[in-house]
A and B are shown apart, each in its own frame.
Chain A
Amino acid sequence: MNGMDLPLWAAVPAALLLVIGGLLSVIGALGMLRLPDFYTRMHPPTMGTTLGVGSVLIASMLVSSALLHRPVFHELLITLFVVLSTPVTAMLLIRAAVTRERKPPEEQQ
């Protein structure tokens, strides 16, 4: 497999989508660095796991479909599993943070 037999109609949008996906992930990581506290830092990485992953997967579908000359769309399953599983980790993280911040019972009056 080489890049030469990839038709232009697939190559251009796929390249664009990959750049968008990469940018979103980088901005998400940058947000982790720049935002001030744990709760606000929860938000930016979500960009990488939603629209970021989404655009990379669409690019993958385009390129594989063009190269194999048949529709390839099992990448959709990755989206499905990511969407199903991220709430679990997100909730665990934020519950842990909330629990840590809670005062011990003797301090609460």
Chain B
Amino acid sequence: MTTLVPFDKALAAYDPAMGLEVHVELNTNSKMFCGCPTEFGAEPNTQVCPTCLGLPGALPVVNHKAVESAIRIGLALNCEIAEWCRFARKNYFYPDMPKNFQTSQYDEPIAFEGYMDVEVEGETFRVEIERAHMEEDTGKSLHVGGATGRIHGADYSLVDYNRAGIPLIEIVTKPIIGAGEKAPLVAKAYVAQLRDLIVALGVSDARMDQGSIRADVNLSLAPKGSDKLGTRSETKNVNSLRSVERAVRFEVSRHAGILNEGGKVVQETRHFHEDTGETTSGREKSDAEDYRYFPEPDLVPVAPSREWVEELRGTLPENPTAKKTRLQVEYGFTDLEMRDVWAAGALPLIEATVGEGVAPQSARKWWVAELLRRANDAGVELAEVGVTPAQVAAVQKLVDAKTINDKLARQVFDGLIADEGTPEEIIEKRGLALVSDDGPLIAAIDDALAAQPDLVEKIKGGNMGAIGAIMGAVMKATRGQADAGRARELILEKLGLS
């Protein structure tokens, strides 16, 4: 086992180069080459037909909507759109691949030569896009028995072909060099921004946790100052933004360890483990792995007309950088606030929350101050914290209506994350509603005043600061659920001061 070199030390000696391959599962109603539905989570092998099962004789037909989505993604990534391109067969045997070839694109991708500017700690990096191409997903294998859940050592395997044939767009970057110690953050920011772009385009559910966006992280190190790229490892299916960052960090440390010991990095695929933050060896990539690509003879070339491409360009959402500047002005966020919002990946969430009628600063407060902490504690992305913008808006409305206060709202979020129901149901179940009924309030006030006659005298003597102490006792008695404003009114009334 190689000794890991601490990240900082590794970067003192080596320059990292990264390549990111992101698979985006499109949200088309039907699959890439047949009419089967694409719903997530259906009973195994219920969304299949002769074509996506690869039955003898069945033929593919290209999903026009998927081509449209591919072109829109390409345009949003500032790519050229091919005037003419073909599908190709990628041949290899695996039980979850019905035809034992994947219909993909090889040297004629639908989109190529683009870029995306990503912002990390106030600095902009241009990530160059080599290509975005169309392909079909494979089925899913479930290996039963054995210790690892992998095919090796399993008692038997089950295959679900519902996912087979779902349209994918694979977006491949050119080597990202020069990011230095920011490499893990650049990788994370690229995937995050790409996800936001995909969301804005509306072409995918963009759920990393459900695998509708999957990232492969390729990494290599070269001695500082060298202009040659080192041997790369390919870490597959990294399924959260945080994992993208961690995978890069880990691989930097691992590669540096191997190189420091005079070893050679093996070109191989690796698996990332969420629990340990480490990668382990998958299969070695050798020259023997030869996909024998050739043009798919069952499909005619895709030749999008320039008119269509321009029409689709007109449907693109606002450029993310321009949008960020616009929203900062609209929302009145300071530069510092905006940087935090951006770093937390909160802007789309805040935008959606504001869209539900919440004031921008309130939305920012909940997402960046409150929910980000919980996301960090849970080790998940903010978007995956378990609370939706609509729920944040519902909570804020309850605060505005004085049903709850900010402090109680935090408990409502606890309930939402624990999936206890709607905010109203949680308030009901947890007994969180503010006490603004005069009855229980007056009882608590009477008790508090009776318990502390000296304070009553002080207040009557004009020391209004002493009201705070009475309020404290009232709050304690009502377990924090007293409507503070109404309690104050009642105290003053009781003492004949109103």
Q: Do A and B belong to a common assembly?
A: no
